[in-house]
Amino acid sequence: MTFALHPSSLPAVLSPVLTPFTANGNVDHQRLLKHCQWLAANGVGHALFGTNSEANSMSVRQKMDALTKLIEGGLDPAHIMPGTGANAIDAAVNMTNHALAHHCAAVLMIPPFYYKDISDDGLFAYFSEVIQKVGNSALQLYFYNIPPVTKITLSLALLDRLVRAYPKTIVGMKDSSGDWSYTESVIKLLAPHGFRVYAGNEAFLLRTMKAGGAGCISATVNMNPKAIAKLAAHWEDADAAEQQVGLDRVRSVFDKHQMITGMKTALAFFSKDPDWLRVRPPLMQLSGDQQGQLMGELKAIHFDMPGL
């Protein structure tokens, strides 16, 4: 398989951006833009409407409106990769067209996950139909592989087949499998042909960069963007392993708690804005004791979020 490398305006590190909500459950556009601006100032891009954005608790219209408001607010679409996957093909097509109309650099697409034990042929047919219905040569599609949630793994054979069928459209993936051997296999198979693999956890960032991957799109980029972006840019430095240890230390604190509610707790604390505590059901805020435990653990490692 031979084709040109895919140029990309996306940075090596993107944040799956947390979504603030108003009391009535709508997206809080002002707070969302402010958080995205803080992330951008710390050197990372924006992977909107993924798991940590509570995207599956939002309607298609809410996501499309939020993207419009962010770009109208000055967020750079060249650094945006919105999640546009959906179980319904038409919903995926509509959100993808909306992202393209706003000149987003790429879209991130989760596989249709409601039905289980789906064949590679079925997944190929899904992605193929979305691409053909969008019908836009500007489309740059990244897969979102997260089998712990979807119970669907994008096999190497399927990835190879899709990239061969759509070499100018399917350009990469976020791998949240947590399985380094799988991530490494995808990089070895497809990265030499321009396929950009982002690790779904910064714990794998140094290994990903050494193997030839693109970087990471990881939950705690919301919390620790500057340090994660630094390692992605300086992974060949003598202290890279030490930097990785520092990232792992922060990540390990959040891993002890429900990730989304834990991050929102920290963001509410460091921004002095309790409205960040809101999550959409079925998620629930951490209890007072849990919040105290989390903030105590962050204090013990001298963690801060300057500039909020």
Q: Is residue 251 part of a domain?
A: no
Tell me, yes or no, if 230 is annotated catalytic.
no
pLDDT tens digits, 242-251: 999 999 999 9
- DSSP per-residue letters across 61-106: HHHHHHHHHHHHTT--GGGB--B---SSHHHHHHHHHHHHHTT-S-
**Contacting residues for 242 by C-beta, under 8 A, at least 6 apart:** none
Q: How far apart are CA 146 and CA 152, in angstroms?
A: 8
The answer to whether the annotation marks 217 as part of a ligand binding site is yes
Confidence of residue 6 (pLDDT cuts 50, 70, 90): low
- How many CB atoms are closer than 10 A to CB 166? 16
Q: How far apart are CA 291 and CA 283, in angstroms?
A: 15
Q: Which of 63, 126, 142, 174 is catalytic?
A: 174
> Is pLDDT above 90 for 4?
no
Helices (H) and strands (E) in the chain, counts: 12, 7
Where are any strands of DSSP class E within the chain?
Answer: 13-15, 45-46, 107-109, 141-145, 170-175, 196-199, 215-217
What percentage of the chain reaches a pLDDT higher than 90? 98
Coil, strand, or helix at residue 196?
Answer: strand
> Is pLDDT above 90 for 33?
yes
Contact 144, 173 (CB under 8 A): yes
Q: Is residue 259 part of a domain?
A: no
Q: How far apart are CA 55 and CA 297, in angstroms?
A: 28
Contact 191, 126 (CB under 8 A): no
pTM: 0.95
Confidence of residue 5 (pLDDT cuts 50, 70, 90): low
pLDDT, average across residues 202-207? 98
Confidence of residue 186 (pLDDT cuts 50, 70, 90): very high
Q: Which H/E stretch holds residue 160?
A: helix 156-165
pLDDT tens digits, 143-172: 999 999 999 999 999 999 999 999 999 999
Q: What's the number of domains the chain is made of? A: 1
Q: How far apart are CA 258 and CA 293, in angstroms?
A: 13
Tell me, yes or no, if 144 is annotated catalytic.
yes
Smallest CA-to-CA distance from 105 within 126, 130, 77, 124 is with: 77
Q: Is residue 120 part of a domain?
A: yes
pLDDT, average across residues 206-232? 98
pLDDT tens digits, 173-184: 999 999 999 999
Q: Is the dihedral of CA 125, 59, 169, 209 positive or negative?
A: negative
Q: Is residue 40 part of a domain?
A: yes
pLDDT tens digits, 97-153: 999 999 999 999 999 999 999 999 999 999 999 999 999 999 999 999 999 999 999
Confidence of residue 268 (pLDDT cuts 50, 70, 90): very high
> Is pLDDT above 60 for 3?
no
Contact 285, 266 (CB under 8 A): no
Q: Is the dihedral of CA 209, 79, 64, 277 positive or negative?
A: positive
Q: How far apart are CA 243 and CA 302, in angstroms?
A: 15
Q: Is residue 41 part of a domain?
A: yes
Instruction: State residue 199's pLDDT score.
Output: 98
What secondary structure letter does DSSP report for 114? S
Q: Is residue 308 part of a domain?
A: no
Q: Is residue 293 part of a domain?
A: no
> Is pLDDT above 90 for 276?
yes
CATH number, domain containing residue 166? 3.20.20.70
Q: How far apart are CA 128 and CA 116, in angstroms?
A: 19
Q: Which domain holds residue 53?
A: 13-233
Q: Is the dihedral of CA 286, 290, 295, 298 positive or negative?
A: negative
Cβ burial 119-143 (10 Å sphere, 16+ → b, else e): eeeebeebbeebbeebeeeebbbbb
Q: Which of 144, 198, 230, 264 is catalytic?
A: 144
Instruction: State residue 247's pLDDT score.
Output: 98
pLDDT tens digits, 60-110: 999 999 999 999 999 999 999 999 999 999 999 999 999 999 999 999 999
Per the prediction, the chain carries an average pLDDT of 96
Count the helix, strand and coil residues of the chain and give each as a percent rounded to the nearest 5: 50, 10, 40
Q: Is residue 63 part of a domain?
A: yes
Q: How far apart are CA 32 and CA 261, in angstroms?
A: 16
Instruction: State residue 7's pLDDT score.
Output: 77
